[in-house]
Amino acid sequence: MMDKKSAYALLGLDENATDEEVEKRYTVLLLRRKKQAGGEEPGAPSMDEITKAYNFIKGIAIEEEIRKKEPKNKTLGKIEYVYEYYRWHIIGTIAAVLIVFFTASSIIQNRSEEKRIERADLKVTFFTDYQISGELDSFEIKALEHMKDWEDIHIVNQYAPTDPKDEYGMAMLQKAIISMAADKADIYIMDKINYAKFSKQGAFLRLDGVSALASVPKDKRLTAETETGETVWSGIDVSNHPAIKELKLPDVEKIALIRVNANKMDNAVKALEWLSQ
């Protein structure tokens, strides 16, 4: 019966011979036997014996390779097998669970944010034809320092180009129009062109009937035409107010306005009274 030692000896190789050496030796012996067909040397191994020895050695190599890959811990091996077999099912299930989790978290966060916005003492939108790159937090800080009984102000920065030059500008203009219709801020800080445009649509509260604003200086009162062609006072120039100047916005007129149907109307009036000082 053939063993490892006799198989290598039959091929004329050392037991530590590499796979490459085994292949080369087998090829050489086969070629040699073909040339000696019918006239083999006495006692020399036959082609059948050479092939059996070669196959035996290859079989040993395959078994060793299998043993290397086989886990020492059989239980671990079974786990790895199950994982490999069901890997994509497991990954798919985990992904589905994560999607449900993050979707639910997002819905909860959105609802929480909506409730926070609703509870805010005032909603302010900076609705301008120039982009505001800096933070607007300092405006909220200044306002809350003045309004001692307020806790939160929700501020939105809305870029509203009056003369868009590209697709981005057009997209921002459309977003601004939707924002004006849906977001419903209590007060707006606007540029002059947007003020004139939305005044024609009756978007802002007339201030001449608001007693708390009767002391606003004449030079700070700004008027605009409504859709009926009537000129009314609805804006206040707040360009030089410290809370506005601290934002370092472009050197153009900043106009404060109250939305005609503001939810927090009393607070909106208080805010304009403060900004007019």
- Tell me: the pLDDT tens digits for 17-39? 888 888 888 888 877 777 666 55
Same domain, 226 and 182: yes
Per-residue pLDDT of 93-105, as tens digits, reads: 777 777 776 666 6
**Do the bridges between strand 122-128 and strand 187-190 make them parallel or antiparallel, or are there none, so unpaired?**
parallel
Write out the residue range of the structural domain in which residue 14 sits: 4-69
Give residue for tokens 């819905």: 107
Same domain, 58 and 82: no
Same domain, 59 and 183: no
Among 17, 7, 2, smallest CA distance to 50 is for: 7
**Average pLDDT, stretch 257-268?**
93
Give residue for tokens 């992904």: 95
**Average pLDDT, stretch 213-233?**
93
Same domain, 20 and 64: yes
**Do the bridges between strand 255-258 and strand 187-190 make them parallel or antiparallel, or are there none, so unpaired?**
antiparallel
Same domain, 83 and 205: no
Identify the pLDDT of residue 219: 94
pTM of the predicted structure, to 2 decimals: 0.59
From 119, 134, 149, give the residue that closes a domain. Answer: 119
Q: How many domains does the chain have?
A: 3
Same domain, 126 and 190: yes
- Write the DSSP assignment of 130-176 as a string of letters: S---S--HHHHHHHHHHSTT---EEEEEEE--SS--SHHHHHHHHHH
Same domain, 88 and 186: no
Same domain, 115 and 28: no
Per-residue pLDDT of 153-200, as tens digits, reads: 999 889 999 888 888 888 888 888 888 888 789 999 999 999 999 998
Among 165, 152, 102, smallest CA distance to 123 is for: 152
- Predicted confidence (pLDDT) at residue 231 exceeds the cutoff of 70: yes
Q: Which residue has the higher pLDDT, 106 or 264?
A: 264
- Predicted confidence (pLDDT) at residue 112 exceeds the cutoff of 80: no
Identify the pLDDT of residue 91: 67
Identify the pLDDT of residue 1: 67
Q: Is the dihedral of CA 60, 66, 71, 75 positive or negative?
A: negative
Same domain, 64 and 183: no
Alpha carbon of 199 to those of 13, 113, 126, 232: distances in Å?
100, 30, 16, 9
Same domain, 270 and 160: yes
Q: What angle do CA 46, 51, 54 make, to 5 degrees?
A: 125
CATH of the domain at 18: 1.10.287
Confidence of residue 125 (pLDDT cuts 50, 70, 90): very high
Task: Report which listed range, 89-93, 162-166, 243-247, is most confident.
Answer: 243-247
- Average pLDDT of the chain to the nearest whole number: 83
Same domain, 133 and 254: yes
Same domain, 240 and 147: yes
